[in-house]
Amino acid sequence: MIPRRIAIMVTLAVMLSTASIDVLSATLDPESPEYWSDVGDATLYKGDTYSAKGYTIEFLDYESVPFEASLVHLELRRGDDVLADFILNATCNASNETIAVCDEFIWNDEVKVEIYADTEEDPRSKNPLDWPNPSIHINLYLRKMPEISLELETNCETYTAQDSLIFLRAIVENEGDAVIKNLSVTIDPGSLRLTDGDLTRHWGSLDLDCEEEFHARLQVPSWITDPAGESFVIFANATGFDEKGVVYSKSTSAEILVLPRWGLKVRKSVNNITMEEEAWVRIDVENTGREALSIEINDATPEHFTLCDDENLNWRYNITPGERVRYSYFMKPTRPGIFNLPPATATFSANGETINVTSNNCTLAVDGAYIEVKKRAEPAIVTPDEDLRVIVTATNTGNKDAVIELRDQVPVSARVTSGNTTMHATLSPGSTRKISYTITLNTTGKITLEAPVVAVTGSGYSRVTTSRMPVIEVRDTAIKPTPSTLNNQSDTITPEAEKPQRERLPAMMIYEIMLATSTLALVYLISRFR
């Protein structure tokens, strides 16, 4: 079993090798159609030329040999160099096909020129010299060759010394008709330093219509001082061979501009305060670069702070290299606590781009007591001389103790019947105290209760805020309450419900009399016919 497998594998290997040799020989054989690439065709009169892919064919002259041939004199040139001067037979006597090759010329296994007849398109092409002002039809072929396409890309065209890396991408492609052998691509960065990747790459072969790429990273130079910047050219070169050992090469380059380094530092600072103090905010800006910058500084206040003296938080300035400037303002807190201040932003333009540099984040602690006073009353609707309960609470949401003296204000038309309207207490952070009392009101209408009077003393500075005061409606007992929609519906339905009952009462009695009469008649009939 094993020898048989080996025999099969050997046979397959020999067949594949033979096929590979046949394909290679066919590719390298000028007699094979696979060897050539069709460049184009043309119709030429005497003195005409046809050019393609750098080659030129000229129809110089002709001579007719009766009963033998129609001879045409052609010249093959590449640029200004004459490669060949040759004569071909333009008569296709033996061909019965509508399109047939009459004669051909091959130069150096690189170029093939055919004269052909197309009797369907041009009946004269079979014997062109038998006609006045003869013309010939030619095909031009070139040996199939690889063609290298090379591109070198950078991630941008302009850099500053502030940037760190230049990203390179080399792309090589075979746009020809044959395989490229032993392909190498080399990048020359000049004075720029490689930090990562490769500057050289090699491939054993590259098939037609295939591409490869590789990457490299270069260091952006930091020594640039010229305000106009400095240009750098990066070169790339590709080299490969065809199956005949002919060398092919392609070069390209990429140019970049490196501008001087810009540098800007923005620092924001503030000191902790108490409720009775103003916060002094400082913004320090330093130009650490090598060129002047036209900057715009913008800042904003956090929540629970107000600006002092209507200050502006937008500044414009042209800061020179090495210069330091300070902007400052004052703001007043409306409550204690710990607050995160938004960063300040410096904006300027460089290299056609708008650049934003933000400051550090900073925190501001405001010490003090913050007394929140709330007042409510129940019920919301009363009658004169009806008890109204009032509840007042005081909560310290700050971070310092506070001694409070609270005196609630009772309406002039009210009389306190029970409870206490004053509070004296020490409120620690987070604590709440409450008082409640009962009053009666001897007036009617809507009354808004007044806010308490609060005085705060103690070790910390403080703020007092009072919630919205309750509104009480006092209704006169002599005025009946306006009936609700539901009561209106009930008052309307009740008489209507009773009326049908009184109307239905006689009908019920008649029905019962008729039923009794019918029953007696039925009993009588049954007894009669028994």
What would the pLDDT profile of 65-107 be if each residue is shown by its tens digit?
765 678 999 999 999 999 999 999 988 865 566 778 889 999 9
Q: What's the pLDDT at 513?
A: 65
Q: What's the pLDDT at 243?
A: 87
Q: What's the pLDDT at 528?
A: 60
Is residue 290 over pLDDT 80? no
- What's the average model confidence in pLDDT over 408-420? 91
Q: What's the pLDDT at 126?
A: 78
- What's the average model confidence in pLDDT over 154-165? 82
Q: What's the pLDDT at 6?
A: 41
Q: How far is Cα 240 from Cα 204, in angstroms, rounded to an integer?
A: 9
- What's the average model confidence in pLDDT over 6-14? 41
Is residue 473 over pLDDT 70? yes
* Cα angle value 46/47/53 (rounded, 5°): 115
Closest of 331, 351, 349 to residue 341, by C-alpha: 331
Is residue 488 over pLDDT 90? no
Is residue 339 over pLDDT 80? yes
Instruction: Please tell me the least confidently modeled range out of 23-32, 47-56, 265-274.
Output: 23-32
Q: Is the dihedral of CA 470, 476, 479, 483 positive or negative?
A: positive
Is residue 433 over pLDDT 90? yes
211 compared with 8, residue with greater pLDDT: 211
- CA 337 vs. chain centroid, Å, equals 38
Question: In 368-512, which ranges are E strands?
Answer: 369-378, 381-382, 387-396, 402-407, 414-419, 422-427, 432-441, 445-448, 453-457, 462-466, 471-474
Question: In 208-261, which ranges are E strands?
Answer: 211-219, 230-241, 247-259
3-state DSSP call for residue 273? strand
Q: What's the pLDDT at 515?
A: 64
State both tokens at 197. 């990747």
Is residue 505 over pLDDT 50? no
42 compared with 500, residue with greater pLDDT: 42
Q: How far is Cα 126 from Cα 96, in angstroms, rounded to an integer?
A: 10
Q: What's the pLDDT at 467?
A: 86
Is residue 21 over pLDDT 50? no
Is residue 11 over pLDDT 60? no
Is residue 448 over pLDDT 60? yes
Q: What is the mean pLDDT of the chain?
A: 83
What would the pLDDT profile of 117-152 be if each residue is shown by its tens digit?
887 888 887 788 888 888 999 999 999 989 999 999
CB atoms under 10 Å from CB of 435, counted, come to 18
Q: Is the dihedral of CA 479, 482, 483, 484 positive or negative?
A: negative
For the chain, what percent of residues have pLDDT higher than 70? 82
Peptide bond into 379 cis (omega under 30): yes
Residue 305's pLDDT band (cuts 50, 70, 90): very high
Is residue 323 over pLDDT 90? yes
Q: What's the pLDDT at 131?
A: 84
Is residue 249 over pLDDT 90? yes
Q: Are 330 and 308 in contact (CB under 8 A)?
A: yes
Is residue 385 over pLDDT 90? no
Q: What's the pLDDT at 460?
A: 58
Q: How far is Cα 506 from Cα 490, in angstroms, rounded to an integer?
A: 26
Residue 16's pLDDT band (cuts 50, 70, 90): very low
Is residue 10 over pLDDT 50? no
Which residues on adjacent β-strands are paired with residue 297? 315, 346
* Cα angle value 52/56/59 (rounded, 5°): 125
529 compared with 198, residue with greater pLDDT: 198
Q: Report the number of secondary-structure helices (H) and strands (E) in the chain.
A: 2, 39
Is residue 13 over pLDDT 60? no
Contacts 24+ apart (CB under 8 A), 455-459: 455/404, 455/405, 455/406, 456/369, 456/371, 456/402, 456/403, 456/404, 456/405, 457/402, 457/403, 457/404, 457/405, 458/369, 458/400, 458/401, 458/402, 458/403, 458/426, 459/400, 459/401
Q: How far is Cα 97 from Cα 357, in angstroms, rounded to an integer?
A: 80
Residue 523's pLDDT band (cuts 50, 70, 90): low
Q: How far is Cα 368 from Cα 370, in angstroms, rounded to an integer?
A: 6
Instruction: Please tell me the least confidently modeled range out of 166-175, 258-267, 501-510.
Output: 501-510
Is residue 282 over pLDDT 70? yes
- What's the average model confidence in pLDDT over 138-167? 89
Q: What's the pLDDT at 432?
A: 96
Is residue 250 over pLDDT 90? yes
- What's the average model confidence in pLDDT over 356-381? 92
Cα–Cα distances in angstroms (integers) from residue 461 to residues 97, 364, 452, in the given order:
113, 16, 20
Sheet holding 49-52, edge to edge: 49-52, 55-65, 69-78, 81-89
Helix-strand-coil percent breakdown of the chain, rounded to 5?
Answer: 15, 50, 30
Q: What's the pLDDT at 518?
A: 67
Is residue 479 over pLDDT 60? no
Residue 295's pLDDT band (cuts 50, 70, 90): very high
For the chain, what percent of residues have pLDDT higher than 90? 54
